[in-house]
Amino acid sequence: GAVVSQHPSRVICKSGTSVKIECRSLDFQATTMFWYRQFPKQSLMLMATSNEGSKATYEQGVEKDKFLINHASLTLSTLTVTSAHPEDSSFYICSVLLAGGSSYNEQFFGPGTRLTVL
Task: Name the residues that contact another protein, by CB under 8 A.
Answer: 32, 34, 36, 41-46, 49, 91, 93, 95, 97, 99, 103-107, 109-112, 114
Torsion region of 16: left, alpha or beta (phi above 0 gives left; psi -120 to 50 gives alpha):
left
Q: Closest distance between another protein and the C-beta of residue 5, in Å?
A: 11
Q: Closest distance between another protein and the C-beta of residue 19, in Å?
A: 18
Closest CA to 11 of 84, 109, 62, 72: 84
Closest to another protein by CB, 58 or 78 = 58
- Cα 77 from chain centroid (whole Å): 7
